[in-house]
Amino acid sequence: MKKEFFIVSVLWSPSDGKYYLIQRKSNNEWSLIGDRVKCDTDLINIEGTAIKSIRHKTGYAHIECKGEIGRVDQDDSAISRTIHFFLFYLSEVPESEKIKEQKVEKKGNWFTFKETISRLTPEVSRRILYQAERKIHTDEIIISSKPKIVVAAGPGTGKTFLFEKVCKKKENDNNLIMTFINELVNDLKFGLGQLADVRTLHSFVMNELFPGSTEKPEVFMQIADVISEDFNIIEGRKISFKDIFNDLLDRNNSKALAFYFKRRKYYDCIGPSCAVYDLIKHFEKDKKEIPQYSQILIDEFQDFNKLEIKLLDLLADESPILIVGDDDQSLYDFKNAYPEEIRSRCLNFKSNYFYRSLPFCSRCPKVIIDSVNTLISKAEKGGFLKKRIPKRFEYFCSEEKDAISKKYQNISYRGEVQRVDFFIDKDIKEIFERDRNFSVLIICAHGSPKQKDEMENYLREKGFRNIQNKRKDDIKMEGYELLLKDSDRNLGWRILSKDKMKSAEFKRIIVKSKSEQDVFRSLLPKTIQSEIKKVLKILKKINDNIKINDEERKFILNQFSYNPSEIAFNKLKKEIKGSNVRKEGHKDISIKIVNPLGSKGLSADYVFLVNFNEDKVTNELLCQFIVSITRVKKKLYIYSQKKDPPTLIEWIKDYLE
């Protein structure tokens, strides 16, 4: 016998403040009731019913449910449980305004509350319903028994909250959380450290390759580039080992890989990509070595490349896995990570992944949400972001966010700005007058270390004292650090000698080192050996807090291209300017300076996107822009050096002030 189904909608009427339930029968077809916005979620079972969608629009709150009609005819408590779930389970309604009885009166096909919530305003009702739908999206993932789940989640949509709930579900078991971003690892450890082992991918890999070892090999991030250069010199053809590893091109490059691993042994180090490759081979050789977890959770999945995803697939063969990501925030193409990987798992029904989404952003004010949706709409119409995952990205209304959104209804934009420090100083001072406790994030759109350093110097001249600006590692200093640990390390001598020799001479040394029989240092001219040893001796003194003489000081500064006179002059200049700067309270505010990539995993009350001048729209620029502007919790400031607004700014002109 074919089952009959019922459809129930809960309607809130602003005219009398009552909620109404309407039941309508249908066979496999939905009877749409009222002005309902279509929801992209599938059916789920909650409290004996299944929630289809919730919306509050044009004065009516619609909650649509689906279940077997026999259950309702026999037991009206199913309806009561549904009402309870939405109105009471969330504990969002003030105690004084809760319904004291949950009974439902039935009159034909109409159901009405015995008592109603007459004092709730539409705003409060709307917040309750949004809380309900967000909970539905989250609970649907938490209660799922599917072994493979993929979640499309935009910025600020509650990924950490989801991870916490999933881990608590298996609190007494061993859970693993992995991501790429150190900032995210620190945040996740703070909130979830008691519930899961939180690691970066490469921390996990090294721990698996060298379990319990106190003497792990030196990790050198650029080893693939170094050995690629060696291959070009020795074998006479260009090759990218980074691409071979990251794009899984190993089958057609066996001879080249043999060269790589021989050279890696000679340099006595390991790199991030080849470490993942090693672990994959280790697991493939013996599947019993693959660790098992109660739950694996992966954040920022769009940042994983094919090599890293292959490792995740091996782990997923032994443990349930939940991956979360957003193709609109794909910024890691420099390491061959592309959005197609998460798209295929979300959109391909053959992927074996249970796909869900988190649509509500509780971080950003409404103007940011509206701006992002406008950007995406115009980008897709312009032929960008092709095959993008179609997903909702909506403002989550709460009392706190509604107040912030009402206060900051626009994005502040200024063009023709050459010295942004003047405006940042002015704007932070104005913020400080109304808000004494706040965070500031400055995102340099170009992202170059030089631009970030200039920004820091400008702000310090203005008197700002609490500035964080992470600098890129200097490969020359990395070479000296290697030799300070081990004076015979071949990689250290190879790195440092390159800048001290002519190209032809350096290539001859690389060719001589092909046999790997000789220590690299022994192949170098005595003069270069002596010079590097002298630097090492002085650096060791500095490291051991031993005083160095004037000759040594002059020599070491020259080695690192520091001009003593210029350093002294700039220091004096800063002190003179600093003495003229008034000691104002807003100058002690903590400021972090990053590029768009470095902003991932961060958020701040006030975000300044500076030197945004790019006119040519690309997918990469769109993702960088979306990532940058969605770091903000309260107000966004954008500065451009151009007279005419760049294209992306023009697209969101309706939201600017």
- Give 317-350 pLDDT, tens digit per residue: 999 999 999 999 999 998 999 999 999 999 887 7
Tokens of 261: 């691993």
Closest by CA to 371, choosing from 651, 657, 37, is 651
Has residue 113 got a pLDDT over 60?
no
Output the DSSP codes for 475-488.
HHHHHHHHHHH-TT
Beta bridge mates, 298: 178, 323
pLDDT higher than threshold 50 for residue 457:
yes
Cβ count near 563 (within 10 Å): 11
The contacts of residue 308 (CB under 8 Å, 6+ apart) are 201, 276, 337
Q: For the chain, give me the number of helices (H) and strands (E)? A: 25, 23
Angle, helix 306-316 to helix 201-209, in steps of 10 degrees? 60
Place of tokens 């015979």: 488
Using CA atoms, how far apart are residues 517 and 304, in angstroms rounded to an integer? 38
DSSP alpha helices (H): ranges in 443-563?
Answer: 449-461, 475-485, 490-498, 503-512, 520-523, 526-543, 550-559
pLDDT digits (tens, 9 = 90+) for 27-70: 333 333 332 222 222 222 333 333 344 443 333 334 444 433 33
Q: How does pLDDT run across 235-287, given as a tens digit for each residue?
A: 999 999 999 999 999 888 999 999 999 999 999 999 999 999 999 999 999 99
Amino acid sitting at position 137: H
Per-residue pLDDT of 556-592, as tens digits, reads 888 887 777 666 666 676 666 555 555 677 888 999 9
Residue 583 pLDDT: 61
In this structure, what DSSP letter does residue 236 have? Answer: S
What's the mean per-residue pLDDT of the chain?
81
Looking at the chain, the whole-number percentage of residues with pLDDT higher than 90 is 57
Contact 67, 50 (CB under 8 A): yes
179: Cβ contacts below 8 Å, ≥ 6 apart? 185, 188, 200, 201, 298, 299, 300, 601
Q: Give dist(CA 36, CA 414) in Å, integer.
A: 40
Is the pLDDT assigned to residue 627 strictly greater than 90?
yes
Report whether pLDDT(129) > 50. yes
| pTM exceeding the 0.85 threshold for the entire prediction | no
pLDDT at position 128 is: 66
Share of the chain above pLDDT 70, in %: 77
d(CA 126, CA 404): 17
Rounded to 5 degrees, φ, ψ at 153 are -135, 120
Quick one: 399 exposed, middle or buried, by C-beta within 10 A (0-12, 13-18, 19+)?
Answer: exposed
Stretch among 31-40, 380-389, 396-405 having the lowest mean pLDDT: 31-40
Quick one: 496 exposed, middle or buried, by C-beta within 10 A (0-12, 13-18, 19+)? Answer: buried
Q: In 3-state terms, what secondary structure has residue 624?
A: helix
Residue with tokens 């769009």: 302
Per-residue burial over 71-95, b if 16 or more Cβ lie within 10 Å, else e, is: ebeeeebbbbbbbebbbeeeebbee
For residue 473, what are the CA distances in angstroms to 220, 293, 499, 595, 632?
Answer: 11, 35, 17, 15, 28
In this prediction, residue 525 has a pLDDT band, given cuts at 50, 70 and 90, of very high
